[in-house]
Amino acid sequence: MKTWFLFVLLIVVAKAGVPQPTELLKYLFDSDPKLLLKPKLTTADRIAAHGYPVESHHIITEDGYNITAFRMPYSHKLQNQKDFRPIVLLLHGLFCSSDFWILNGPNDALSFNLVDAGYDVWILNSRGNTYGRKHISRSTNHPYFWRFSWHEIGFYDIAAQIDYALATNGQGQKSVHFVAHSQGTSAFFVLTSARPEYNEKIKTAHTMAPIAYVSNMSDKMLTRMAPVLGHQNAVTAAFSDQEFLPHNEFFTKLGYNACNPNSMLHSMCSAMAFMFEGSESNANRSAVTIMAETHPAGLSTNQMLHTMQEHQSGRFCWYDHGKAKNLKLYSQETPPDYIVEQITANVHLWYCDTDPAVAVEDVEILASKLPNRVKHHITDPTWAHSDYVTHIDVKRLINEPIIEIMNQYEEAL
């Protein structure tokens, strides 16, 4: 593995014009190496490259995180900037960022399809990822910066971004449509159960690969690690409150340059990505390659620990800090359950039979508790966790049905 990595590093650096290959090792240990690599494109850059208007907004949460959201305010094809444009928010899942929602390009990505259908589209980010690494007083080098799980993403990040989008739209709108994938759905369920007043701000919610109850999850990494990391112990204490896969600007740019379409390693990145997708992959090859350029995007170890706790407890509940801290925070030794029965928003559950991260049994448990839900069961035996965004036929199978549901809601107003 080390030999292969150094071989790739040599090729990329040679292409970047670094004259002294013998000095490569210093870049492995330098948090700010001076290497001439092309800067990464942002979500805004990628949207603008397709001719769409795009805005970057810096949104401050109640607890001080500064998160960038990207807005596609109208479609240059429709020239509908003066028309009423319902607001739609898109939230990514674990390891991801706003780049996730533009992977399939202007013809097939949900973000582009929505704006071309007349919507005001906001592509969100969560604290700790590529676009959420700022705080009004904390550095990413301080463990307190990383003291959060998907609970805080839902309780603070989504709330702040919904309120900001409503205020910025300028059309007097009181509610939004919401789309989330994977762990983004967990955060959504946190918000609408722990802060039930936000249900009134949701028109329709579309949860792709919905994750709340996870005791039947079959993901191998989680099921092998959860018996240890899903409980408070010395190992958990050592693993918590820190960045998972620490960010290094050099390696971030290195990965981007290696997988860039103009790189000699572009085809290798694409092939390797498909190795992870599997032999029955439905993914758009271009989308998978862009994913290799932009992901993983950064997260806290607590996000993973929280899910492992859920797997072990069989509950959908707040973060378990251990008995002593639980008593201080929750006035009880165990964390309280999220009361999903309080989620009165119009929730659409999009799920399949073959997702190791989302078991049908767990979706059924969630569905049984939601007072206002519609199930969309995908029976394709080859459907994968990321197919809701990267599938070669996602426009017909997912995007157009979601837009039709939103349109029907708007027409009924």
Give catalytic residues, as residue numbers: 182, 355, 385
Q: Where are the beta strands (DSSP E) in 215-258?
A: 243-244
Q: How far apart (Å, rounded) are the C-alpha atoms in residues 2 and 168?
A: 49
Residues in the chain: 413
Sign for the pseudo-dihedral over CA of 4, 5, 6, 12: positive
**Main-chain phi, psi angles of 351, to 5 degrees:** -150, 170
CA 109 centroid distance within chain: 15
User: Does the N-terminal peptide bond of residue 296 adopt cis geometry, omega within 30 degrees of 0?
Assistant: yes
* Nearest of 326, 339, 409, 337 to residue 374 by alpha carbon: 409
Query: Could you give the C-alpha distances from 238 to 99, 127, 241, 302, 320, in angstroms and in order?
Result: 31, 21, 8, 11, 15
Determine the Cα–Cα distance for residues 32 and 179; give it in Å rounded to an integer: 36
Strand pairing category for 299-300 and 243-244 = antiparallel
Q: Return the structure tokens found at 199.
A: 């249900």
Q: Are 183 and 151 in contact (CB under 8 A)?
A: no
Per-residue burial over 196-231, b = 16 or more CB atoms within 10 Å of its CB, e = otherwise: eebbebbbbbbbbbbbbbbbebebeebeebbeebbb
Question: Are 108 and 309 in contact, with CB atoms under 8 Å apart?
Answer: no
Nearest to 109 by CA among 38, 33, 46, 168: 46
Greatest Cα pair distance in the chain: 67
